[in-house]
Amino acid sequence: MEKRRCGFGFGTKGGPVSENYLLYHDMRWCKPEHSDGELFAMLVLEGMQAGVSWALILDKEENFRRAFDGFDPKIVANYNEAKVEELLRDKGIIRNRSKILSAVSNARAFLKVQEEFGSFDAFIWSFTGGKVVDHHLKDAADMPAKDALSEKVSVELKKRGFKFVGPTIVYSYLQGIGVINDHEETCDFR
């Protein structure tokens, strides 16, 4: 029997999707993540997604991981102009100077948060007391683009020097790292 998935963008209402997209939905989306390395990776990927489809980001994810040194924030924080120029020539990633520079400045801000809180995980999960916010959606149409939580997290991230962290990007980020669970009630991957 075929597994049921959320109705938006996973082939049930939005047409065919890539294997990467299905795997992301099934294995990673809205699943609690606590590894600082992955929390940083998702922050960069979500920032790169602004203005393009998430499917495109997922299709380029391995290229991003290679180009950005496995998303090690200690390495990315030390990128210089030569490295930025190298990234701007890399056809396997999104070649947008503002987004690349934000990844570098976000790595620096990320390291400061780690220093202050002991880990980025402790910081980001503190907004919900370590609990998953489960919206128990009945239909994809009920999913907001942002909410009070994403607005609060966005403000805090911006205060700490993060870029490309508006409330809509942050909402998607919180879903991506499992702080928010927006799988529909009928989805077999809740």
62 is catalytic: no
Q: What is the mean pLDDT of each run of 10 residues along the chain (190 residues)?
A: 76 64 94 98 97 93 98 98 98 98 98 98 98 94 94 98 97 98 94
Among candidate residues 29, 33, 46, 79, the one labeled active-site is 46
- Which residues are CB-contacts of 54 (< 8 A; sequence separation ≥ 6)? 21, 24, 172
Task: Give me the pLDDT at residue 17, please.
Answer: 75
- List for the chain the helix, strand, coil content (%; round to 5): 55, 5, 40
pTM equals 0.94
151 is catalytic: no
Identify the CATH number of the domain in which residue 131 sits.
1.10.340.30
pLDDT of residue 1: 77
Range of the domain at 48: 19-181
Q: For residue 7, what pLDDT is reported?
A: 77
Which helix (H) or strand (E) segment is 124 a member of?
Answer: helix 120-126
**103 found inside a domain:** yes
pLDDT at 13: 47
Catalytic residue, chosen from 38, 54, 151, 156, is 54
Q: Is residue 5 part of a domain?
A: no
Determine, yes or no, domain membership for 10: no
- 163 lies in a domain? yes
Determine whether 125 is an active site residue: no
Residue 148 lies in a domain: yes
Largest CA distance in the chain: 53
